[in-house]
Structure 1
Amino acid sequence: MLNKENEESKHFRDTFLPLKVVLKTPSGDIIHEVSTDDKIFVKTGFFLVFNRPRSLLLNNIIINVQFNEVRFTKIPPKLSLGTKQVAENLVYAWSNELNKPDRGDVKFKVQDRVIYANSSILATRSDYFETMFEGEWIECNKQRSSTNDVNENRYKYEIEITDFNYETVLAMLHFLYTDEADFVNYSLDNIWNLFSISDKYFVEDLRHKIKIHIISILNERNAAEMLFKYAWKWPDLKEMIKNFNIEHFVKIRKTRGFKQIVASKSEYPMYNELLEEILLG
C-alpha cells in the first residue's frame, strides 16, 4: 500500500515544464539569463547554474521565472489544495435572502432603484460596512421613523450610491452574501467597475478574485485599454499591465485598441505619462 508521500510523487511524476529564468538587479538590469527546453520537474524544484564569481552577486536579486507552457492536471482528492467550496443549496439559500424588502434593514439607493440587504450580514463580511453602520457617516443615513408602521421602522439605514451602477452594487452584495462571483459574461467595463467597488469598500476577497481574472484575460488586444483606461488608478495592477505593454509593445501598437486610444488621447487623463513610461521601459 502506498503512503501519502508516494502517492503524491506518483501524481507529479509527469509534471514537467520548460522555462526561462532571469536574474535582475533591483533597478531591472539583467545579471544572468538562462532558457531551457528541458523538462523541469516543478514538484521537486530546479537548480539554476550561475557560473560567475560570487563577488558579482548582490544582496538583493530579483528572480524572474517565465514558464513557456501552463499545464493543469487533475489533483487526486487526497492532494486537495484546500480551496473553499460552498454547497450549492447554501449558496442558493443566502442568495435568496438578498434584495427581499421584508427581510432586510438596509436600503441601497442606486440609479433610482432600491436594493434591500441585512446590516448584520454586511457588517460581518466587510469592515467598511461594520464601521459605516456603527458611525455617523454622511454616506449612511440612519432612518428614524415616528410612525408605528412596522414596514417603515424595519429599515435602519439608507445608503445612496452615485458612483456605481445598479448591477455593480448588486454583484458586490451578492458576493458578500454568497462568496461567489461569476465574470464569464462581463464586459471589461463591468469587470473593472466591480474591481473598483470592491476596492472602495475593502471587499478584499472579491478584489483578489477579480485581479486574478483580469490577469487571466490580459492579452495583446486588450492590454492598452486595460492600462490607459483602467489599471493606471491602482499601482499593483498598473505595474503588471504596464510591463506587459512594454514587453509586447511591437504588436500592441498595431492593434485597433491602441490606435483608438491614440486617436482619442484627450479622453485618457494619464495618456502622456503612460506612453512615456512604455517607450522608456
Structure 2
Amino acid sequence: MAESSSTSRLSLVTRHEASTISHMTDLSRWSIFSILEPDVLTSIKKVCVFGSSGNEAIFLTDDDDVYAIGSNCSSCLGLGDTHSSFTPRKIEGLCKKKVVDIAFGSGPHVLAVTENGDVYSWGHNGYCQLGNGGSNQGFQPAIVNTNLQGKKVFHVACGSHHSMALTSEGEIYAWGQNNCGQVGTGTTTNQPTPRKITAVIGCRTVVAISCGQTSSMALMDNGELYGWGYNGNGQLGLGNNVNQPNPCKVAGALSGLIISQVVSGYAHTMALSDEGVLYSWGANSYGQLGTSSKANQVYPTKVERTERFVEIAASHYTHISAAMSQTGKVYMWGQCRGQSVTSPMLTRFNCVDDVFATFSAPPISWRTYSVEHVSGSRIAQNICKAFDDPVTADLKFVVEDREIHVHKSILKIRCEYFRSMFQSCWEEDGKDTIEITQYPYSVYRAFLQYLYTDQVDLVPEEAIGLLDLANAYCEPILKNYCEQIIKQGITVKDVAMLYAAAIKFEAKVLEEFCFRFALNHMTAVTQTEAFTKLDECVVKEFIRKAALAGAFKY
C-alpha cells in the first residue's frame, strides 16, 4: 500500500478564525478596557489591543460598529486625527463593514479585513507597510486595492513594519519593509504594494500565516511549514542564522509531521502538530521556547510535556508564550511581567488570551479576540449549584450503584427526551429513583451536569460515550461539544475506532476529521489494533475515500 504524496495529503488545519477555542475572558484584565462603562463592555464582540504600552485598542460591537480608544500614536486608531482619548470614538470608515480580523505592526500600523474579503490599512507607513504604493502616514482606513482587487482575504498578519494577507484560495500577499527578506520577494528591497509570494511554494495552498518582528512563516495544507526573512536568532528553524529572502522549508524534528498551527513571537517561533506536540525555536533569552533553558535553538525543539496541547499563542510584540492543554489548562512561559519563566507554568486562566492581558509586556492581544459574554445572573449561578444537590432534588438517577440528584423541572426544560419521559403516560413520571444501565456513571453524570451548566467536563477517552448518549437523546449541541473534545484527543492509536464511532453516531464533522487525520498518518494507522477491528464495510469505504484523496498515487 503506497502512502500518499506530500502534495496530495490534506492537513487538519481549519481556516483562521478569530477564536479557535471558545472560552470566556474578562475584558477588564486589559487595563485599557477597565474604564469602560458596563453597558459598553457587554456590547463588545471582538477586540484588538496593541501599542508599545498596550495603550491602544479597537473593538467591534454587536451592532457592527467599530470603536477606537487610546493614545493614537501615528494615527493608528484610524480616526482621521492624532487626538488621544479614553472615550471610545467610532472609526466611521469601518462601521457596518463586518470586520472579521485585525492585525497590527510596531509603528504601529493596522490592517483590518471585512467579511467580504477587503483589506483596509492605516497608521505608520514609513516602510510602505500600508500597501498603498507610498510612504505617507494613513490617518483613516483606506482599502488596499493593488493586486488584491478581486481577491477574498480572510486573515492578515503584521511584523514590525511588514504586512501579509492570506486569501481564501490559499495565496499569500506581502508588502512593506523588506530589509531582511521578510516580504519573500527574493530581494531586500521594500515592497510598496501587495505582491504574491510564489518563490519555492509556487501555487501550493497556504492555510495559515504568522509574522515575527522581521520574519514570516506560512503553513501549507499538507502540514508543512516554511519560513523566510530575518534569521539571526534561528527563528526560521533552518539550522543556521542566515537570513532568507525566499521561503525555506522547516525540516529537522518537523520532518514527517503534520503541523496544525504556527505562531510567531518577537524573535521565536512555535508550531503545534496535529497530535498535540509542541515545538519551538529561535531566540530564548527569556525562556520563551519553554525548553527549561535560555539557549537559542536554530532547529525545532520539542517542548517536553505530558499533556497534549490544543492551542498555542505568541505575538511579535512580546517575548511571552502560552498554550492550552486538551483538558483546558492554560500554561505560560517566557518574559512574564519582567520575570523569565523557562518552562510552561500552569496558570489559573481559562484562555490563553488572559495570559497576554495580564502577564505580557506590553499587555496586547495576540489575535483578534472574539468575546464570549456569559451573564453573571444569580439565576444561572444558582442552577449550576443545584446540580446533584440532594436537599433540593426531587429525583435521583442510580448509575453503577452511585446516585446523581436532579430536578425534574430543569430536565424537562432543558431536554426534549426528559420532557417526553416525565409525562403521565410514562412509567418514569411517578418515580423518584430511576436506574440507568446503558451508560457508565461518568458519562451520564457529565450529561446531566451539562443540562445544568452548558459545559462538558469529560476527557476525550470518555467523550465517545457521551456522543452516543447525545445521539440517542437527540441533543445536537451536546453532540457538537463531544466532537470537539474527541478531536482534541485523537491519536494514531485510536483514530480508526473513533472514525467508526463517528459513522455509527452520524457525526459527520468528526467523521471527516478522523478520516483526514488517518490519511495523514496512513501507514501507522493501518498497523493499529483498532484498524484491524474495523467492520469490513467501513474499511472498504475508507479505502475508497482514501483513493479519491490521492492516497495511492505514486
From 541, 544, 547, give the equivalent of 1:277: 541
Q: Assess if the C-alpha contact under 8 Å between 2:460 and 2:486 holds in 1.
A: no
Question: Which residue does the alignment assign to 2:398?
Answer: 109
Question: Which residue does the alignment assign to 1:261?
Answer: 530
Question: Which residue does the alignment assign to 1:196?
Answer: 468
From 481, 487, 494, give the equivalent of 1:215: 487
More strand per residue: 2
**Equivalent AA in structure 1 for residue 403 of structure 2:** V
Q: Tell me the alpha carbon deviations over residues 42-73 of structure 1, each in whole angstroms, 9 at most, x when there is no partner.
A: xxxxxxxxxxxxxxxxxxxxxxx948554668
Q: Are residues 1:35 and 2:304 paired?
A: no
Question: Which residue does the alignment assign to 1:151?
Answer: none
Q: Assess if the C-alpha contact under 8 Å between 2:387 and 2:406 holds in 1.
A: yes
* Distance change in 2, residues 1:221/1:84 (3 Å): farther
SS in 2 for 1:115: strand
Q: Assess if the C-alpha contact under 8 Å between 1:99 and 1:115 holds in 2.
A: yes
**Equivalent AA in structure 2 for residue 120 of structure 1:** S
Q: Assess if the C-alpha contact under 8 Å between 1:18 and 1:36 holds in 2.
A: no
More helix per residue: 1
Instruction: Say how many residue pairs are matched.
Output: 218
Identity, in percent, stands at 21
* Distance change in 2, residues 1:207/1:84 (3 Å): farther
Return the TM-score normalized by structure 1.
Answer: 0.62
Question: Which residue does the alignment assign to 1:24?
Answer: none
Q: Assess if the C-alpha contact under 8 Å between 1:18 and 1:67 holds in 2.
A: no
CA distance in 1, matches of 2:208, 2:443: 44
Return the TM-score normalized by structure 2.
Answer: 0.34
Question: Which residue does the alignment assign to 1:50?
Answer: none
Q: Assess if the C-alpha contact under 8 Å between 1:191 and 1:210 holds in 2.
A: yes
Aligned-residue offset at 1:250: 2.6
CA distance in 2, matches of 1:225, 1:38: 28
Aligned-residue offset at 1:103: 0.9
CA distance in 2, matches of 1:109, 1:217: 29
- Structure 1 gaps of 5+ residues are 22-32, 42-64, 144-154
RMSD: 3.8
Q: Are residues 1:252 and 2:525 paired?
A: yes
CA distance in 2, matches of 1:82, 1:38: 24
**Equivalent AA in structure 1 for residue 204 of structure 2:** S
* Distance change in 2, residues 1:212/1:10 (3 Å): closer
CA distance in 2, matches of 1:219, 1:88: 40
SS in 2 for 1:83: coil
Query: Which residues of 2 match residues 41-190 of structure 1 at below 5 A?
Result: 66=221, 70=261, 81=370, 83-85=372-374, 87=376, 93-134=382-423, 136-138=425-427, 140-143=428-431, 155=432, 158-183=433-458, 186-188=459-461, 190=462
Q: Assess if the C-alpha contact under 8 Å between 1:110 and 1:165 holds in 2.
A: yes
Q: Tell me the alpha carbon deviations over residues 144-175 of structure 1, each in whole angstroms, 9 at most, x when there is no partner.
A: xxxxxxxxxxx4xx332111111211111111
CA distance in 2, matches of 1:10, 1:109: 49
- Structure 2 gaps of 5+ residues are 1-76, 80-89, 104-110, 112-155, 158-164, 171-201, 211-219, 224-259, 264-312, 316-352, 354-363, 546-554
Q: Tell me the alpha carbon deviations over residues 104-128 of structure 1, each in whole angstroms, 9 at most, x when there is no partner.
A: 1222121222221111111111122
Q: Are residues 1:11 and 2:102 paired?
A: yes
